[in-house]
Amino acid sequence: MANIISDETMEYVGILAKLELSEEEKKQAESDMGRMLDYIDKLNELDTTGVEPMSHVFPVNNVFREDVVVNGDDRENILKNAPGVKEGAFKVPKTVE
Amino acid sequence: MAKQYETVIGLEVHVELATKTKIFCGCSTEFGGAPNTHTCPVCTGMPGSLPVLNKQVVEYAIAVGLATNCTITQYCKFDRKNYFYPDNPQNYQISQLYLPICRNGGVEIDTPAGKKIIGIHEIHMEEDAGKLVHDEWEDCSLVDFNRSGVPLIEIVSEPDMRSAEEVIAYLDKLRLIIQYLGASDCKLNEGSMRADVNLSVREVGATEFGTRTEMKNLNSFKAIARAIEGERARQIELLEEGKQVVQETRRWDDNKEYSYAMRSKEDAQDYRYFPDPDLVPIVISDEWIERIRKAQPELRTEKLERYKKEFDIPDYDAEILTSSKVLADLFEATTELCHKPKKVSNWLMVETLRLVKENDMEVEDIDFSPENLAKLIELAESGAINSSVAKEVFEKIFKEDIDPDKYVEEKGLKSVNDEGALRATIEKVIADNPQSVEDYHNGKEKAIGFLVGQTMKAMQGKANPGMVNKILKELL
């Protein structure tokens, strides 16, 4: 494996993804990510000069909706997915900036 | 000698577009509904839901881009900006990083030193977040997703501004353009227009920019001006003390007139943007751009010229009326009904703007109907009500949009034009005030004013002043 993921990188990625990993899981993830980067290195061997970057796999564009209200009040159903409910709102642990 | 500093300012302006529905789903964008009553699986980020782009959002963004001299990106797409915060249910915001819809534009502003172009780096489309309320009683936060998915455009300027005055002039210009296009009402106090200020200072003559900070939570022009002054002073003080300005986001507290660094726990400003696979690219043809260009409504400069030509009003009136879309629309609609442009202009420029100021409102908050103002003008011009009654009725129109015909009828405010009744009252006033009559005959012209006043009082303010004057002079 050519790409080595350092513990610091693993720590940082964990913070960004809001994941707390055990030591064992960290080792496994470091090895998985290293192999992914190896694969990217392989792709990088290709000469892509003059090739337009692809932004979507389907050859489709301009899929639009007209600006018409089609949804009504479905709060009751929507709130069934909430971790907690208070006064018609999703109740979540306190967030302070 | 003390060092001289220059302030360098760039703005990120978010504008909520005036679409009926959200950017990626058919939920209403109406302001002020009960929490979560305008939500669906898409705008609450439920797994498996798929966004579909609202065409009107693209059209408004192109319209604003054309009006601000931007180049339209004819192949553009959406990207995901990844971050965790409870007001963002997907844990990413759908935005545009790599191919924003508009680029390389600019608008002209007036400064004391003359005209100046403020460059626009880009305009991109994105979705708004939900609203978080921190519960005072329980240790929790409450999330309302009604605003989640409301379409925004973010207009990113170049760092071309050098003072609070230039910033205000630029914002005014943008606001006017966008309002004229009908793309947004741009109300700062309701958050449909929001500005983040990027500011750095450097010594006069320096070519490199200093380290900048970004200030948020600015919801009025006054707050923006104060925040700029405050942040400039704070940065200069740091530099004078030999310290460094730290690149960070700060939150302006307009009551305390101070900004605070916003620190999130890990301070990770790493958004790991990548193309959104749920949304296909947008291809904007030349024809589409031309269609929008042709449908572009008259902007301020053209409107100003037309007013000067078409209506018999002073240039000054035309300047003020066209300085706000709301005033201009009201002026045109009312004039269309009553065909008295100068009268309409007077009511708008004098009484309306006075009441706006007295009530600490913005011109955008005016919401009486042109029909009622036109009716009032008819009443006043026909002599059916006198001018002081007209002002009183207008206040009611301004506040409650009442029908002046009905109101005048119900309250019995019609001027008394019945000559017989007036004559009888005036005869009595003359009989009761022999001293004033004598003063008048002795050449004291002012005495007649007193007699007019007494007559108006006797008629409870409803007499036609012209007729009172005429009859008085005749009887004296």
A79-96 exposure pattern, b = at least 16 Cβ within 10 A, e = fewer: beeeeeebeebbbbeeee
The three-class DSSP label of residue A73 is coil
What's the structural domain count of chain B? 3
Task: Please indicate, yes or no, whether residues B447 and B401 belong to a single structural domain of this protein.
Answer: no
* pLDDT number for residue B265: 42
Task: Please indicate, yes or no, whether residues B198 and B318 belong to a single structural domain of this protein.
Answer: no
CATH value at residue B462? 1.10.10.410
* pLDDT number for residue A60: 92
> Are B37 and A79 within 8 A, CB to CB?
no
Task: State pLDDT tens for residues A9-37.
Answer: 998 888 888 888 999 999 999 999 999 99
Task: Please indicate, yes or no, whether residues B188 and B265 belong to a single structural domain of this protein.
Answer: yes
What mean pLDDT is reported for chain A? 90
Angle CA(B355)–CA(B360)–CA(B361) in degrees, nearest 5?
Answer: 75
Task: Please indicate, yes or no, whether residues B313 and B452 belong to a single structural domain of this protein.
Answer: no
* pLDDT number for residue B266: 46
For chain B, list residues with pLDDT below 70: 1, 263-268, 416-417
Amino acid in the structure at residue A11:
E
- Give domain status of residue B293, yes or no: no
Give the end of a domain, one of B245, B263, B288: B288
- A91's enclosing H/E stretch is strand A89-93
The correct answer on CATH 1.10.20 for the domain covering A7-44 is yes
Task: Please indicate, yes or no, whether residues B276 and B326 belong to a single structural domain of this protein.
Answer: no
d(CA B353, CA B366): 10
* pLDDT number for residue B1: 55
Phi and psi torsions of B173, nearest 5°: -65, -50
Task: Please indicate, yes or no, whether residues B303 and B284 belong to a single structural domain of this protein.
Answer: no
> Are B132 and A95 within 8 A, CB to CB?
yes
B248 vs A contacts (CB less than 8 Å): none
d(CA A66, CA A60): 18
Which residues form the domain of B111?
5-288
Q: Across the strands, what pairs with B13?
A: B155, B195
Task: Please indicate, yes or no, whether residues B167 and B311 belong to a single structural domain of this protein.
Answer: no
- Give domain status of residue B14, yes or no: yes
- Give domain status of residue B102, yes or no: yes
The three-class DSSP label of residue A39 is helix
For chain A, list residues with pLDDT below 70: 1, 96-97
Give the end of a domain, one of B239, B260, B288: B288
The verdict on B159 touching A (C-beta cutoff 8 Å) is: no
Task: Please indicate, yes or no, whether residues B322 and B370 belong to a single structural domain of this protein.
Answer: yes
Q: How far apart are the two ends of chain A, measured CA to CA in Å?
A: 41
Query: Could you tell me if the ipTM is greater than 0.95?
Result: no
> Are A93 and B140 within 8 A, CB to CB?
yes
Give the end of a domain, one of B288, B311, B333: B288
pTM for this predicted structure:
0.81
Task: Please indicate, yes or no, whether residues B258 and B335 belong to a single structural domain of this protein.
Answer: no
A63 vs B contacts (CB less than 8 Å): 52-53, 279-280
> With contact defined as beta carbons under 8 Å apart, do B337 and B330 qualify?
no
Determine which of B125, B140, B266 to mutate to test the interface with A (most A C-beta atoms within 10 Å): B140
Using H for helix, E for strand and C for coil, what is the string for chain B?
Answer: CCCCEEEEEEEEEEEECCCCECCCCCCECCCCCCCCCCCCCCCCCCCCCCCCEEHHHHHHHHHHHHHCCCEECCEECCEEEECCCCCCCCCEEEECCCCCCEEEEEEEEEECCEEEEEEEEEEEEEECCCEEEECCCCCEEEEECCCCCCEEEEEEECCCECCHHHHHHHHHHHHHHHHHHCCCCCCCCCCCEEEEEEEEEEECCCCCCCCCEEEECCCCHHHHHHHHHHHHHHHHHHHHCCCCCCCCEEEEECCCCEEEECCCCCCCCCCCCEECCCCCCEECCHHHHHHHHHHCCCCHHHHHHHHHHHCCCCHHHHHHHHCCHHHHHHHHHHHHHHCCHHHHHHHHHHHHHHHHHHCCCCHHHCCCCHHHHHHHHHHHHCCCCCHHHHHHHHHHHHHHCCCHHHHHHHHCCCCECCHHHHHHHHHHHHHHCHHHHHHHHCCCCCHHHHHHHHHHHHCCCCECHHHHHHHHHHHC
> Are A69 and B21 within 8 A, CB to CB?
yes
Provide the residue ranges of all domains of chain A, joining segments of one domain with +: 7-44
A3-17 exposure pattern, b = at least 16 Cβ within 10 A, e = fewer: eebeeeebeebeeee
The whole-angstrom distance between B52's CA and the closest CA on chain A is 6
d(CA B365, CA B141): 31
Give Cβ neighbours of residue B233 (< 8 Å, ≥ 6 apart).
none
Task: Please indicate, yes or no, whether residues B388 and B256 belong to a single structural domain of this protein.
Answer: no
Which tokens hold the place of B450?
């007193």
The whole-angstrom distance between B408's CA and the closest CA on chain A is 41
- DSSP letter at A58 equals S
Which tokens hold the place of B129?
């977040």
Task: Please indicate, yes or no, whether residues B352 and B428 belong to a single structural domain of this protein.
Answer: no
- Give domain status of residue B16, yes or no: yes
The whole-angstrom distance between B283's CA and the closest CA on chain A is 6
C-alpha radius of gyration, chain B, whole number: 29
d(CA B141, CA B399): 37
Task: Tell me which residues of chain B, numbers 93 to 132, contact chain A at a CB-CB cutoff of 8 Å.
Answer: 99, 132
Task: Please indicate, yes or no, whether residues B139 and B276 belong to a single structural domain of this protein.
Answer: yes
d(CA B174, CA B70): 13
The verdict on B266 touching A (C-beta cutoff 8 Å) is: yes
The verdict on B212 touching A (C-beta cutoff 8 Å) is: no
